[in-house]
Structure 1
Amino acid sequence: MACMKKSGELEIGDKMGKSNEQYLLDTEAETDDDESNKGKEMDSVEMMFKDTAIPPWKEQLTLRAFVVSAMLGIMFSFIVMKLNLTTGIIPSLNVAAGLLGFFMVKAWTKVLEQSGMLKDDTFTRQENTIIQTCVVATCGIAFSGGFGSYLFGMSDTVAAQSSDANSPQRDMNVKNPGLGWMICFLLIVSFIGLCSVVPLRKIMIIDFKLIYPSGTATAHLINSFHTPQGAKLAKQQVRELGRFFSISFLWSFFQWFFTSGDHCGFQSFPVFGLKAYDNMFFFDFSTMYIGVGMICPYLINISLLLGTFLSWGILWPIIETKEGDWYESGLEPGNFHGIQGYRVFTAIALILGDGLYNFLKVLGNTFHKLYNQIQNKKSCAVLPVGPDDKEISFDDQRRKEVFMKDQIPTWLAVVGYLGIAAIATVTLPQIFKPLKWYHVLLIYAFAPALAFCNAYGCGLTDWSLASTYGKLAIFVIGEWAGKMQGGVLAGLAACGVMLNIVSTASDLIQDFKTGYMTLASPRSMFVSQVIGTAMGCVIAPCVFWIYYQAFPDLGVAGSEYPAPTATVFRNLAILGVEGFGSLPKHCLSLCCGFFSVAILINVARDIAPKKWARFIPVPMAIAIPFYMTGSSVAIDMCLGSLILFIWETKNKADSEAFGPAVASGLICGEGLWSVPKSILALAKVSPPICMKFLSKDMNDNVDLFIETITR
């Protein structure tokens, strides 16, 4: 997802190293350098399309584009939802959306051609951009909707595992999922961010010339698809994607037969031995996370593995020896007055330390660059796109002409913002009783400024600070509402409002950048974003509802879908209203230590030479295993990195061309299996076999027991 989004989950493709889109951008730059001797005409993208007519903005919004977008949006929503509810690590799906959009329209036209019903098979890069934008907007709601974080953190399931489980005020801080109110909530909060930055589109893209690396790289990808050479490569990429999609789907289907019971099947395979398995070190044969590992930067995957060793290999075994001293013995595994409190709050300390440092860093950089831009009137102060600002290239001239042609009226954005804000001020307190109208009004008063900062910072760094702004709202509104008046629920609701505003704002400008470089009309891009967001507001809650109904233990620690980030967000809200008094013994000291370590690591990353900084781990990624159960995800993702590394060593050109397609196929295959798996669960159809792994002594005892009862 563009400028990768939002929530407490790790945002792959932002600050954490080279994203898949940035990798494509670098490859494009290398190609340009290699062929610079062919002349400026060959270097110009728009020169290749100069004889291609640009369809009017209404003709870019085709019926097939939205049908294809809806189909892909549903599939990607299942994928994002599964990732949300398992680890919260969401890779960029922009490449997969653009690639599959290209493939599905080509398949559409081929079927119609064979049936004799084809009237016009023209598939433009503008329509491809519309599809990509709509798909990402749709599945983006599955992420920003908070189904794995703040929204599900309101539920009784998560509350029972949080530090306020026994609080007398627990009932007023709980709101269980309901399909109706979730759809209404998302419809209220998901559109206003689009209105907040529409008047700034020209300033961001043309005047300030912000690069928006993910949006730029996606545009390069789409442009390349629609050249003769690019179309040929795209077909080969789609073929590889389809092959690994089938392998992943069939492998997931095969594994399902052996999972009839707890800790059954390949996902509990003790690859490194039973002793390692008892200490939560094992490989679970997940093709999805192997694919995620192939997309994520190497440093992220190594940081995850390092966090696993630090937490499950060192810290938790040491703290477990303090049972009865540091914390009461005999507590349930999920009790936050026991070891679970150390797990979650040390992770929160790392996340907050990393988030606060980078928030201040990016915000300071944003204001510094903005000040220079205004004072000096020099676009070169902010990452110029063109090779020379004094001489406008043919591409920039052509793109500026098209971008300025179909304008979106500023009055429409202003009226839309004020209208939605008025509706939200009245309706949100009806959905969340502890959230008062003046809380909502305060959020909407400050949201445009924060949305601008987020969109501007995203253009500079490709990193969205949406989750940080959401956490800020948790503390401000939660403390204001107060513990006795449902401050936890109010804080989580405020987080959702703020997070949706600032994230959709940066997404829209990111998409405007893609449209700017593919000559898609700003009007068609805006309409596509609105339609995609509307579809997501319905599709995402429905997808979550399927999971919620199909898996009764959803959100329970240790289950197939533990939603660990939801617990983190709820405990952040509790911390905001209750303070540090509820933490177990020495937990605050550990939190302060890890908070400081996160800041020191970031300082080291910034001051170290680049050749060494790329080896310094990322605190946000280190924190994830602290509140997850086990190391399987980190091992899966590191295996994905290892596969990609070996592939690059043997054939770098093929790995660059087909690596993203293979990774997308692995992710989509297992992700799509979630659909029939959920249907089977709803139909009460259970797998026929339970495959477990026992030690020799345990197996002998089981055999003896069976022999005894069968006599």
Structure 2
Amino acid sequence: MSHPVPNEPTPHVSSATVAGSSPSPAQDPERYWLENVYQGGARQLTVRAVISGMLIGGVMCLSNLYVILKMGWSMGVTITSCILAYTVFSVLRQLKLLRTEFTPLENNAMGSVASAAGYMTGGGNMIAVPAVLMLTGVLPSSGWLILWFTVVAMLGVFAAIPIKRQLINIEALPFPTGTATAETINALHGHGEVARQKSRLLGLAGLIGAVIAVARDARSAWMEVRFPEWLRLPWLPAEWSLPFTLRGRPAGDWTLAIQPSLLLVGAGALMSWKTGWSMLLGAVLTYGFLAPAMADPSVGAITVISYKGINGWMLWTGAAVLITSGLLSFALEWRSVVRSFRSLSGLFGKKEEAPVDPLAGIECPPAWFPMGFAILGPIVVVLMAYLFKIPLWAGIIALPLAVLMGIIASRVTGETDNTPTKALGPVTQFIYGGMVPGNITANLMAANATGGVGLHSADLLTDLKSGWLLGANPRQQFFAQLFGVVAGALVVVPAFHLIIDDPKLLGSKDFPAPASLVWAGVAEMLSKGLSSLHPTARVSAACGAVLGIALVLLERLAPKRLKPFIPSASGFGLAIVLPASNSFSFFIGAATAEVLRRFKPKLSEAAVLPVGSGFIAGESLMGIAIAMLKALKFMPK
């Protein structure tokens, strides 16, 4: 969804594949669904589905917290959560601890809870908050942030109500991740061997990822003393520098190194091949050529040879590529935007007398939308004013803007599987940069509000697409989403405060937080003006802006045979603000997955998703556990 790379593989799966034959154009799609697909009597939002979804979603939220601070985006959690839940409940059933089967619709409801919880790192939450901490050094207390995250996310859930039936029931937008989730649930519950294979691969990859994290991050004298020699791991270094020098400095000083990280390799396997090689190209050009040139004493743009020193200058180039390419890509989806406005006008237009609604007892009542905003909207405005010093009038303007962004983001997600948070966030930053100039916190947290509403609206609709294909009750999925939102907020805020106990950790090689660096850079630039930048940084930002536009236009206009050779703007831009070592690992994962796709397609289909997800989950969860132990002084830093 809202990421520079796809968060989950989304193979094309038609509605007919999951739910049976599609209705003919002459049939009412809603009545057809009610009569042929809907499974009203099946167990769905059960207590165990809610509890397991909150627990798994909380774990996935911790994983995504580590991932977003490392890489700048959240990974997809829905399919991984469904595989985990199926595995856990199958084991409990075999041990005779459960008497009833965990049904596909229970798994779907569990996925809605887990998805809402796992994505509490997205929507600007763990982009804007670290950016505020970088720039100001202070944040509201955990309790206030939990309330802020929860209310903003709930606004997004309510924003999905008035457009759900139009986008999913009537227009049948693909929502590829939602469709793939329905296919995965069917495969898990319908083919035992497929499910067992995916579960084994996911578990084994997770274990390997966890061992790698321990061997790299947990080394200390404490471990050496308390473990016998035969139990001690062969400790891994933080990285291996490439064997050459640049300007008399080891390659590793320029971040040209290989990291022992399967998390990054796994993430690379889940991205596209184009994004993978684009990141390699961007890293080599940035850290192998441009950075050394800018460090020349005659130029003096980069004075400290370290990741933070290089990134302080390079950020403006990468941010310009990411922002202009994101905005242009979003603008080129103008048809989706126009259709969003038409849908919006239809919500408030004159209604003709309609026949009895066959789905009135299943769908969320339209009145829930204004009721939700009437209750939650004032809370958001007051929190903006109290926590972030945003004037009341500016907070009130944020509400309709957030609804509009949510509707646009939902349609774009339904049509492209990409939630444009990275485009909508800077748009809000520029708007608030003009409305409340100089207020950095207002700039960032207003973007957090619109991004959060957009993400959670799109996330609920993606889950509802799965439910539509499987015959689930949409009203129960709505409540499932609310449970997940609360669980995610309760997990992500304390965990962030615990592992980031010093603002200086943000923007370091340990936690590069590239998306936060971009948002912080935009906020600072809007506050101080372009004149505050080094002259060479202004030139590089202009070049980056042109490059971002050029890459998007080339991707659109180039002949089909040339498109595979045009770099991905998002991948190239991201490589500029990440350490080169990260991009190298992404490339290794993407290249491995591409080789499997070309030469072993069946193995690729069976293994890439569970193994990649397992590497990410295992290493990130162990990594965040070690970081917490160090923060709590149970393990030396």
When the two structures are superposed, what TM-score results if normalisation uses the length of structure 1? 0.78
Whether contact under 8 Å (1:293, 1:638) holds in the other structure is yes
| Aligned equivalents of 2:561, 2:396: Cα separation in 1 | 47
Q: Does 1:129 align with 2:108?
A: yes
Out of 580, 588, 606, which is 1:639 matched to?
588
* Aligned-partner SS, 1:357: helix
User: What's the counterpart of residue 320 of structure 1?
Assistant: 295
Out of 211, 217, 239, which is 2:200 matched to?
239
Shift of the 553–369 alpha-carbon distance from structure 1 to 2, 3 Å rule, reads closer
Shift of the 613–105 alpha-carbon distance from structure 1 to 2, 3 Å rule, reads same
Mapping for residues 293-372 of structure 1, pairs under 5 Å: 293-321=268-296, 323=297, 325=299, 327=301, 340-367=311-338
Q: Does 1:281 align with 2:256?
A: yes
Give deviations 1:678-704, integer Å, cap 9, x for gaps.
Answer: 34313434469xxxxxxxxxxxxxxxx
| Aligned equivalents of 2:368, 2:362: Cα separation in 1 | 14
Out of 406, 409, 431, which is 2:387 matched to?
431
Shift of the 478–247 alpha-carbon distance from structure 1 to 2, 3 Å rule, reads same
Give deviations 1:137-168, integer Å, cap 9, x for gaps.
Answer: 10100223522x2111111xx22xxxxxxxxx
Shift of 1:238: 0.3
User: What's the counterpart of residue 538 of structure 2?
Assistant: 588
User: What's the counterpart of residue 151 of structure 1?
Assistant: 129
Whether contact under 8 Å (2:140, 2:387) holds in the other structure is no
* Aligned-partner SS, 2:101: coil
Out of 4, 9, 14, which is 1:11 matched to?
4
Q: Does 1:459 align with 2:383?
A: no
Give deviations 1:304-330, integer Å, cap 9, x for gaps.
Answer: 111101210111111111x46455x86
Out of 355, 364, 367, which is 1:411 matched to?
367
Whether contact under 8 Å (1:555, 1:564) holds in the other structure is no
* Aligned-partner SS, 1:464: coil
* Aligned-partner SS, 2:419: coil
Paired residue total: 599
User: What's the counterpart of residue 166 of structure 2?
Assistant: 203
Out of 51, 70, 77, which is 1:67 matched to?
51
Shift of 1:20: 3.9
Shift of the 52–468 alpha-carbon distance from structure 1 to 2, 3 Å rule, reads closer
User: What's the counterpart of residue 79 of structure 2?
Assistant: 95
Q: Does 1:684 align with 2:636?
A: no
| Aligned equivalents of 2:434, 2:384: Cα separation in 1 | 18
User: What's the counterpart of residue 608 of structure 1?
Assistant: 558
| Aligned equivalents of 2:595, 2:322: Cα separation in 1 | 32
Q: Does 1:482 align with 2:440?
A: no
Shift of 1:250: 1.8
| Aligned equivalents of 1:554, 1:298: Cα separation in 2 | 34
Q: Does 1:291 align with 2:266?
A: yes
* Aligned-partner SS, 2:59: helix
- The one-letter code sitting in structure 1 at the alignment partner of 2:87 is F
| Aligned equivalents of 2:532, 2:330: Cα separation in 1 | 27
Whether contact under 8 Å (2:113, 2:485) holds in the other structure is yes
Shift of the 87–580 alpha-carbon distance from structure 1 to 2, 3 Å rule, reads same
Shift of the 537–622 alpha-carbon distance from structure 1 to 2, 3 Å rule, reads same
* Aligned-partner SS, 1:633: helix
User: What's the counterpart of residue 354 of structure 2?
Assistant: none
- The one-letter code sitting in structure 2 at the alignment partner of 1:283 is I
Q: Does 1:560 align with 2:510?
A: yes
Whether contact under 8 Å (2:428, 2:446) holds in the other structure is yes
Shift of the 595–271 alpha-carbon distance from structure 1 to 2, 3 Å rule, reads closer
Whether contact under 8 Å (1:78, 1:675) holds in the other structure is yes
Shift of 1:515: 0.7
Whether contact under 8 Å (1:91, 1:296) holds in the other structure is no
Shift of the 52–341 alpha-carbon distance from structure 1 to 2, 3 Å rule, reads closer
| Aligned equivalents of 1:268, 1:279: Cα separation in 2 | 12
Whether contact under 8 Å (1:402, 1:519) holds in the other structure is no
- The one-letter code sitting in structure 2 at the alignment partner of 1:497 is A
Whether contact under 8 Å (2:8, 2:75) holds in the other structure is no
| Aligned equivalents of 1:620, 1:539: Cα separation in 2 | 29
Out of 459, 479, 490, which is 1:538 matched to?
490
Identity among equivalent positions (%) equals 21
Give deviations 1:19-45, integer Å, cap 9, x for gaps.
Answer: 6432x326x89999xxx9xxxxxxxxx
Q: Does 1:221 align with 2:181?
A: no
Q: Does 1:651 align with 2:630?
A: no
Give deviations 1:537-568, integer Å, cap 9, x for gaps.
Answer: 1111122122124xx46534434223233222
Whether contact under 8 Å (2:336, 2:408) holds in the other structure is no
Shift of 1:427: 2.9
Shift of 1:529: 0.6
Shift of 1:298: 0.8
* Aligned-partner SS, 1:610: coil
Shift of 1:256: 3.2
Q: Does 1:54 align with 2:33?
A: no
User: What's the counterpart of residue 26 of structure 2?
Assistant: none
* Aligned-partner SS, 1:558: coil
Shift of the 506–427 alpha-carbon distance from structure 1 to 2, 3 Å rule, reads same
Q: Does 1:104 align with 2:104?
A: no
User: What's the counterpart of residue 389 of structure 1?
Assistant: none
Shift of the 260–571 alpha-carbon distance from structure 1 to 2, 3 Å rule, reads farther
Shift of 1:627: 2.1
Shift of the 668–402 alpha-carbon distance from structure 1 to 2, 3 Å rule, reads farther
Whether contact under 8 Å (1:139, 1:540) holds in the other structure is no
Shift of 1:594: 1.6
| Aligned equivalents of 1:221, 1:514: Cα separation in 2 | 10
Shift of the 574–219 alpha-carbon distance from structure 1 to 2, 3 Å rule, reads same
Shift of the 56–505 alpha-carbon distance from structure 1 to 2, 3 Å rule, reads same
User: What's the counterpart of residue 568 of structure 2?
Assistant: 618
- The one-letter code sitting in structure 1 at the alignment partner of 2:131 is G
Which stretches of structure 1, 4 residues or more, deviate above 6 A after TM superposition? 28-32, 50-53, 331-335, 368-375, 401-404
Shift of 1:65: 1.2
Shift of the 266–239 alpha-carbon distance from structure 1 to 2, 3 Å rule, reads same
User: What's the counterpart of residue 9 of structure 2?
Assistant: 21
When the two structures are superposed, what TM-score results if normalisation uses the length of structure 2? 0.86
| Aligned equivalents of 1:456, 1:253: Cα separation in 2 | 42
Task: For structure 1, list consecutive stretches of 5 or more residues without a partner in the other structure.
Answer: 14-18, 37-46, 160-172, 376-400, 689-711
- The one-letter code sitting in structure 1 at the alignment partner of 2:4 is E
* Aligned-partner SS, 2:525: helix
Shift of 1:271: 5.1
* Aligned-partner SS, 2:267: helix
Q: Does 1:522 align with 2:478?
A: no
| Aligned equivalents of 1:332, 1:480: Cα separation in 2 | 38
Give deviations 1:179-201, integer Å, cap 9, x for gaps.
Answer: 12211211221111111220221
Shift of the 477–174 alpha-carbon distance from structure 1 to 2, 3 Å rule, reads farther
| Aligned equivalents of 1:412, 1:325: Cα separation in 2 | 60
Shift of 1:95: 2.1
User: What's the counterpart of residue 500 of structure 2?
Assistant: 548
Whether contact under 8 Å (2:67, 2:75) holds in the other structure is no
Whether contact under 8 Å (1:145, 1:186) holds in the other structure is no
Higher mean alpha-carbon deviation, 245-254 vs 600-609, is at 245-254
| Aligned equivalents of 1:307, 1:411: Cα separation in 2 | 49
* Aligned-partner SS, 1:151: helix
Shift of the 554–242 alpha-carbon distance from structure 1 to 2, 3 Å rule, reads farther
| Aligned equivalents of 2:433, 2:525: Cα separation in 1 | 9
| Aligned equivalents of 1:303, 1:515: Cα separation in 2 | 36
- The one-letter code sitting in structure 2 at the alignment partner of 1:583 is L
| Aligned equivalents of 2:283, 2:492: Cα separation in 1 | 31
Shift of 1:444: 0.6
Mapping for residues 241-280 of structure 1, pairs under 5 Å: 241-258=202-219, 265-270=236-241, 272=243, 275-280=250-255
